[in-house]
Amino acid sequence: MSGRHAVVVGGGIVGCTTAMLLRQQGWQVTVVERNIIATQTSGESSWAGAGIVFPLLPWFYQEAVNQLALEGAKLYPALADELYQETGIDPECLRSGMLIQPPFDAQAALAWCAANNVQASLQGQDLWLPDVLQVRNPRLLQALKAWLIKRGVTLKEQTQLLPLPEAEIGEQGTLKRWQTKAGETLEADIFIVTSGAWSFDLLKQTALSLEIKPMRGQMLLYQLDKPITNHMIYRNGFYMVPRKDGYLLAGSTLEDVGFDTSVTEDMRVEMQAKAEAILPQLKDAPVIKHWSGLRPGTPHNIPTIGQHPHISNLFLNTGHFRYGVTMAPASARKLVSLVA
Ligand SMILES: Cc1cc2nc3c(=O)[nH]c(=O)nc-3n(C[C@H](O)[C@H](O)[C@H](O)COP(=O)(O)OP(=O)(O)OC[C@H]3O[C@@H](n4cnc5c(N)ncnc54)[C@H](O)[C@@H]3O)c2cc1C
């Protein structure tokens, strides 16, 4: 294989979309993932998320956050089509729409939607956003993985990179090699860190000011005999996302508990109560799964996308906190254009 070689560290949604774009631009790409891509092993955020392709209450966020999220959302239908056509795996990118129930600031919401060309209307006291998309996270990751394999990207799974020691930085300010836990040495023209909540641990000796920490989110999965809603619903920090085959996700929590990926009974009870308050029919439906994921939490939800200030061939695409699925395609574009 010819072309310059990029090593992407982390095979979540951000790593996979970055690898995809680099490959499309002719790079030789290796994705290094300490677990197995598209499976849930230890709190990988991309598998765990709800797949809402929208920054829940955008009028609360800074312009930069919303811009990246809206750009990402625009790219999803074409990305999902390409993945489906190339791999036969459907990421289920659906325009199911989202209903936002009070309390929310209707005036701010309508003004923001009008200013950003987002279709919105009030239905009684609720805000209806007909164009909000969803994707099915595990299938999106499976499709990305299949695409990467088909296009000749090397996937080094069950391979953990060790925290980067300062000693590996050459005099020219370039990173020469990076060591894996198993003692292997990886070399490349560029390295891109897409390690989600684990990014600071990996880089703390060379990126002291990077502020990324894990923020746990727990999630419930209901199984329904027949659909009780076709659209997503958001109320007061809690949302529900119906899949097209009768499953319904309900979540989530926002917990600052370090790298603890356990799920808790008190949160299960609380989330079930919230879900049933919105959709009383859920009282009779079984919760068939309860899991958690670690979001890469950052101040103001602002990711770091760019070149390391002192190491010219080290790039970061990480810290997407609550909206990494939404942002990933646009974030990959930004990173790859910087690399180019
Ligand atoms: C409950 C929950 C609900 C969410 N809902 C939404 C939503 O509806 N919409 C939305 O847009 N976003 C949502 N998010 C946020 C979104 O999931 C994240 O922002 C996004 O997945 C981050 O992607 P990532 O690729 O950076 O991180 P991850 O998916 O965590 O991937 C990082 C990868 O790096 C690997 N890794 C770490 N360290 C190393 C190492 N040393 N060597 C090799 N590999 C390593 C990890 O194993 C992991 O696979 C949600 C998150 C959670 C937890």
Residue of higher predicted confidence among 309 and 143: 143
- The reported pLDDT for the residue numbered 109 is 97
Nearest-CA residue for ligand 1 atom 3 is 49
Copy the structure tokens of residue 245: 């085959």
pLDDT confidence bin for 168, thresholds 50/70/90:
confident
**Ligand 1 proximal residues by C-beta, below 6 Å:** 9-15, 32-35, 44-46, 48-52, 160-161, 194-198, 202, 217, 219, 251-252, 293, 295-296, 318, 320-326
Separation of alpha carbons 318 and 198, rounded Å: 10
Do residues 87 and 141 lie in contact, with contact meaning Cβ atoms separated by under 8 Å? Answer: no
Do residues 188 and 34 lie in contact, with contact meaning Cβ atoms separated by under 8 Å? Answer: no
Give tens-digit pLDDT for 289-314.
999 999 999 999 999 999 999 999 99
What strand order describes the sheet that includes 98-101?
121-123, 126-129, 98-101, 232-235, 238-242, 247-251, 213-223, 287-297
Residue 99 lies in a domain: no
Do residues 52 and 219 lie in contact, with contact meaning Cβ atoms separated by under 8 Å? Answer: no
CA distances in angstroms from 278 to 16, 137, 225, 268, 270, listed in the order given: 35, 24, 18, 16, 13
Q: Look over the chain and give the mean of its residue pLDDT values, rounded to a whole number.
A: 96
CA distances in angstroms from 232 to 52, 85, 99, 135, listed in the order given: 8, 26, 6, 12
pLDDT confidence bin for 1, thresholds 50/70/90:
very low
Residue 106 lies in a domain: no
Residue 223 lies in a domain: no
Helix, strand or coil, per DSSP, at residue 46: helix
Q: What is the mean pLDDT of residues 16-24?
A: 98
| 324 alpha carbon – ligand 1 mean position (Å) | 7
Residue 276 lies in a domain: no
Separation of alpha carbons 317 and 31, rounded Å: 14
**Cβ neighbours of 201 (radius 10 Å):** 13
Do residues 192 and 332 lie in contact, with contact meaning Cβ atoms separated by under 8 Å? Answer: no
Percent of the chain with pLDDT over 90: 92
Q: Give the least confident one: 147-151, 166-170, 268-272.
A: 166-170
- The reported pLDDT for the residue numbered 3 is 73
Q: Which amino acid is at 48?
A: A
| 270 alpha carbon – ligand 1 mean position (Å) | 24
Instruction: State yes or no: pLDDT of 244 exceeds 70.
Output: yes
Domain enclosing residue 158, as ranges: 1-93+134-211+299-340
Helix, strand or coil, per DSSP, at residue 212: coil
Residue 105 lies in a domain: no
Pairing type for strands 121-123 and 126-129 reads antiparallel
Instruction: State yes or no: pLDDT of 329 exceeds 50.
Output: yes
Do residues 221 and 247 lie in contact, with contact meaning Cβ atoms separated by under 8 Å? Answer: yes
Q: What is the mean pLDDT of residues 77-88?
A: 98
We report the CATH number of the domain holding residue 79 as: 3.50.50.60
Instruction: State yes or no: pLDDT of 90 exceeds 70.
Output: yes
Residue 161 lies in a domain: yes
- The reported pLDDT for the residue numbered 208 is 76
Do residues 325 and 228 lie in contact, with contact meaning Cβ atoms separated by under 8 Å? Answer: no
Residue 21 lies in a domain: yes
| 49 alpha carbon – ligand 1 mean position (Å) | 8
pTM: 0.98
Give tens-digit pLDDT for 184-211.
999 999 999 999 999 999 999 888 789 9
Domain count, the chain: 1
Residue 59 lies in a domain: yes
Instruction: State yes or no: pLDDT of 2 exceeds 70.
Output: no
